[in-house]
Amino acid sequence: MPLRIIFPLLCLLLLIQIELLAQPADSLYTLTAIVSDDFFVPVPATHIINLNSHKGDVTDSLGIFSLPVLFTDTLLIRNIAFRDTLIPVAEVRANRQIRINRRRYQ
């Protein structure tokens, strides 16, 4: 067989194999991100709750948390000094950072 027929066939086989090995969009994975305030200062002791699975985590002293999520899940972020925040996992997955706004008490 000529090379100009074999080469496109090999490329096609490689593309098919890559598609088969791809991870499905609805699979469970561990999301790790940082919770920070308006000035990008990490916020410790913030509760992160996955509203779909009802699992949660608390940020450490550097504002980092790790939580099992699906791509379609929604996270609830709570801290007594900050406003409660709902954020989809798809937004967090892009930059691995969550910014929350400070609550003003009278």
Per-residue model confidence (pLDDT) at position 22: 52
**What is the mean pLDDT of the segment spanning 55-71?**
95
Which of 60, 91, 57, 61 has its CA nearest to residue 73? 91
**Token pair belonging to 35:** 């919770």
**Token pair belonging to 105:** 């008490």
Q: Are strands 29-36 and 74-79 parallel, antiparallel or unpaired?
A: unpaired
With beta carbons less than 8 A apart as the criterion, state whether 73 and 29 touch: no
Per-residue model confidence (pLDDT) at position 7: 80
**Token pair belonging to 69:** 């999520």
Of the pLDDT bands very low, low, confident and very high (cuts 50, 70, 90), residue 17 is low
What is the DSSP track for 9-40? Answer: HHHHHHHHHHHHHSPPTT--EEEEEEEE-TTS
Of the pLDDT bands very low, low, confident and very high (cuts 50, 70, 90), residue 1 is low
pLDDT for 89 beyond 70? yes
Alpha-carbon distance of 79 to 21, in angstroms, equals 40
Instruction: Quote the pTM value.
Output: 0.73
